[in-house]
Amino acid sequence: MNQSNSMSTKLEALNTRLLDYARQAGAIHADALIVTDIGESVSVRMGKIESVEREDSQGAGLRAFVESTGGLAFASASTSDLSDEGLRKLAEQTIAMARISEPDPDAVPPVGAMHPDAQALDDWRRKHPYKTHGWDTETAKEAALACEQAALSYDKAISNSDGAQASFGESCITYASSDGFVASFPNVSASLSVSVIAGSDEDMQTDYAYDQARVAATLRSADAIGREAAERTAKRLGASAYQGSKSCPIVFEPRVAKSLIGHLLSAINGRAVLQQRSFLADSLGKKIFPEFIHLVDDPDHPQGLGNRLFDGEGTACKACDIIAAGELKLFLTDRYAAGRLQQPSSGHARRGLTGDIGIGSSNVILQPGTDTPEAILQDIQSGILITELMGFGVNGVNGDYSRGAAGFLIENGVITSPVQEFTIAGNLLNMFANISHLGSDLTWFASTAVPTICVQGMTVAGQAE
């Protein structure tokens, strides 16, 4: 039995005990999450260690249901105190709060979810054996130093550094519900990032590069990450303020294209749909994208960091189509939203230690197209390649979109000069419908994979001509 196994066993026992305390305090149903987390982060800057941070934390989050006139009422509470006394207090506090909460006839207690069976649990563990992240303070420090050094020495234009950071950690997450389901999984991660600066005084630019993986050995090399940061930063130097205002095609490189998928996912969140807080609330079964758009949610993908066997309510997860041939196939739901929308839960409950249950995807993959990014640019007479988006100008209720941006002018099919100080605006519904190209360059960002996306007819606003 390795260390991770014994930790799992211990936390599962603790979690079962917490549910016992909840029952003793008056809960009819309950479920709980217990998480332990050990991690370290090494920051270096200009070739020297800037800081080492070591964290050792733990917590329990309990959701308890009580019978009340008019139905079931519930509350959630969390604590960092996993002692016997701490768990008892948590149970009592949660019950006291549940008694104040108002009954909700649609509340779904944690019984009878479509849990994975013992065989599925076993298969999953065999398929995803425990591995260590493989780093310690010393090796992480070396990686961070090498990464920064690669960035600083790649191009003469690089004048300063905001530092490099190598982080690694291991956590163990246990979920238990009062219908007897209990399971736990270790989670390991390692990440390496660097950010550098080119130029001086009022003509400075910065950019970064980053990678994240479960096992440090599978990260892109420190050298590759450093070079990417340097290359991105140097290319931006001398950016001028965009002149004029017009409507034109906008190319989102994968790093920023990812945010468009994020806006879609927020809008098909079943709870947002129920609350009428989504511009896609009435779009299920409708064609909201062109025919060539396919988006899937895959909870077991070799490259995804969002793999999971079950969601935050213990519901077994399975791969599903979100967009098929441009049509919206699914609202993401937990059991509550699913019940209200009269469909089975799609297995997208997301649970943290604190607060209520939310909704979130596992690994989301936008199927790539066949054009290289260069080929996409060739189709554009006059447009902008976006490499950075800023601000929060996205209205999820009506889809209005207006964000600050920076990138490169596209003129006669090729990239010419860096530009900044402009906004791009439109409405997400139109933007989705006006996607004209998908690149072949599918790129993974933790749990989202997306290629270059080209959207026609967005409004660009810049400086006076």
Partner 1 sequence: MLNLMIPATADDADLYLEQSSSESLALEEGRVKHVSASTHQGIGARVVCGETAGHAYTDRFETAALLEAAKAARAIAGQGQQRAPVAIHSQPSAHQLYLPENPASGLSMQDRKTLLESIDKLARSLDPRVKQVFASLSNSFDIVDIFTMSGQHLSDARPLVRLNVSVVVESGDKRETGSAGGGGRFTLSHIQQTDMVEHFTREAVRMALLNLDAIAAPAGPMPVVLGPGWPGILLHEAIGHGLEGDFNRKGTSVFSNKIGKQVAAAGVTVVDDGTIPNRRGSLNVDDEGTATSRTVLIENGILKGYMQDKQNARLMGMPATGNGRRESYADPVLPRMTNTFMLAGNDKPEDILASLDRGIYAVNFGGGQVDITSGKFVFTTSEAYLVEKGKIIAPVKGATLIGMGHEVLKKVSMVGNDLELDPGVGSCGKDGQSVPVGVGMPTIRVDELTVGGTEGGQS
Among 395, 436, 440, 443, binds partner 1 (CB under 8 A): 395
Binding positions for partner 1, 441-460, rule CB under 8 A = 457, 459-460
Binding positions for partner 1, 189-248, rule CB under 8 A = 197, 201-202, 204-206, 239, 244-248
Among 81, 84, 117, 374, binds partner 1 (CB under 8 A): 81
Checking 297-302 for CB contacts under 8 A at 24+ apart, the result is: 297/322, 297/332, 297/348, 297/361, 297/362, 297/363, 297/364, 297/365, 298/362, 298/363, 298/364, 298/365, 299/347, 299/362, 299/363, 300/127, 301/363, 301/365
Q: Which residues pair with 59 in a beta bridge?
A: 35
Among 308, 335, 348, 403, binds partner 1 (CB under 8 A): 403
Q: Which residues contact residue 92 at a Cβ distance below 8 angstroms, ignoring those fewer than 6 apart? A: 21, 25
Residue 110 binds partner 1, judged by CB under 8 A: no
Helices (H), ranges, 137-186:
137-154
Identify the CA nearest to 458 among candidates 250, 191, 220, 256: 250
Among 75, 328, 438, 453, binds partner 1 (CB under 8 A): 75
Among 5, 16, 93, 132, binds partner 1 (CB under 8 A): 93
Residue 10 binds partner 1, judged by CB under 8 A: no
Residue 381 binds partner 1, judged by CB under 8 A: no
Q: For residues 234 and 366, which CB has a smaller minimum distance to partner 1 in the complex?
A: 234
Q: Give the integer Cα–Cα distance in Å for 131 and 186.
A: 9
Smallest gap from residue 282 Cβ to partner 1 (A): 9
Q: Which residues contact residue 328 at a Cβ distance below 8 angstroms, ignoring those fewer than 6 apart? A: 268, 280, 283, 284, 285, 286, 287, 288, 322
Residue 56 binds partner 1, judged by CB under 8 A: yes
Binding positions for partner 1, 111-140, rule CB under 8 A = 137
Smallest gap from residue 287 Cβ to partner 1 (A): 18
Binding positions for partner 1, 408-437, rule CB under 8 A = 420-427
Residue 33 binds partner 1, judged by CB under 8 A: no
Among 18, 19, 77, 364, binds partner 1 (CB under 8 A): 77
Q: For residues 94 and 269, which CB has a smaller minimum distance to partner 1 in the complex?
A: 94
Smallest gap from residue 298 Cβ to partner 1 (A): 27
Spell out, one character per residue from 326 to 365, where the chain touches partner 1: x when CB under 8 A holds, - when not.
Answer: ---------------------------xxxx---------
Residue 68 binds partner 1, judged by CB under 8 A: no
Among 12, 22, 29, 45, binds partner 1 (CB under 8 A): 45
From the number of C-beta atoms within 10 Å of its C-beta (0-12, 13-18, 19+), residue 381 rates as exposed
Smallest gap from residue 13 Cβ to partner 1 (A): 18
Q: Which residues pair with 177 in a beta bridge?
A: 31
Residue 404 binds partner 1, judged by CB under 8 A: yes
Residue 20 binds partner 1, judged by CB under 8 A: no
Total number of residues binding partner 1 (CB under 8 A)? 83
CB 215: neighbour CB atoms within 10 A? 15
Q: Give the integer Cα–Cα distance in Å for 12 and 176.
A: 8
Among 2, 24, 47, 49, binds partner 1 (CB under 8 A): 49
Q: Give the integer Cα–Cα distance in Å for 211 and 166.
A: 10
Q: Beta strand 295-297 with 320-324: parallel, antiparallel or unpaired?
A: antiparallel
- Identify the residue whose tokens are 């947002």: 272
Q: For residues 202 and 291, which CB has a smaller minimum distance to partner 1 in the complex?
A: 202
DSSP labels, 334-370: -HHHHHHHTS---S-EE--SSSS-EE--S-EEE---S
Q: Give the integer Cα–Cα distance in Å for 7 and 451.
A: 39
* Biggest alpha carbon–alpha carbon distance for the chain: 73
Smallest gap from residue 25 Cβ to partner 1 (A): 14
Q: Which residues pair with 187 in a beta bridge?
A: 171
Q: Reduce the DSSP state of residue 120 to 3 states and report it.
A: helix
Residue 171 binds partner 1, judged by CB under 8 A: no
Q: For residues 211 and 297, which CB has a smaller minimum distance to partner 1 in the complex?
A: 211
